[in-house]
């Protein structure tokens, strides 16, 4: 991997880590039912070449962090044919945080877009 590719990968990783919690809360806020990790990963496009790239293994620490912050809650459901699954759902505090974080994201996105276009707001 050359320096350019390395720099791009580093930037993408930093950018992804900064928005992963927002995206996860968005997925959960828009879900009508609890979801387990694989379902969440599919919805955010885990491993895609474009957009947010989050491997399933990186997903769980963010889910745990959101749960530790009381923004998500989880429960485990046993299964006869497979290992038990942990299902997550957003809490009222998570819904409120999502709405606030979404506003901050939109302001940040608009500022960055304007700056990149050379039309500072």
Close Cβ partners of 14 (under 8 Å, ≥ 6 residues apart): none
Written out in words, the top-level CATH class of the domain with range 3-117 is mainly alpha
Distance CA 70, CA 93 (A): 7
* Average pLDDT score, the chain: 87
pTM of the model: 0.80
Residue-wise pLDDT tens digits, 47-104:
555 555 566 678 899 999 999 999 999 999 998 898 999 999 999 999 999 999 999 9
Mean pLDDT to the nearest integer, 19-41: 93
């Amino acid at each position: 991997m050359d320096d350019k590719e390395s720099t791009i990968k580093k930037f993408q990783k930093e950018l992804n880590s900064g928005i992963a919690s927002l995206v996860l809360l968005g997925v959960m806020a828009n879900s009508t039912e609890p979801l387990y990790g694989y379902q969440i990963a599919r919805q955010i496009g885990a491993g895609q070449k474009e957009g947010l790239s989050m491997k399933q293994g990186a997903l769980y620490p963010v889910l745990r962090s959101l749960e530790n912050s009381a923004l998500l809650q989880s429960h485990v459901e046993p299964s006869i044919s497979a290992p038990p699954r942990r299902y997550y759902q957003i809490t009222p505090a998570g819904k409120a945080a999502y709405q606030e974080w979404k506003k901050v994201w939109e302001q940040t996105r608009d500022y960055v877009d304007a700056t990149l276009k050379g039309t500072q707001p």
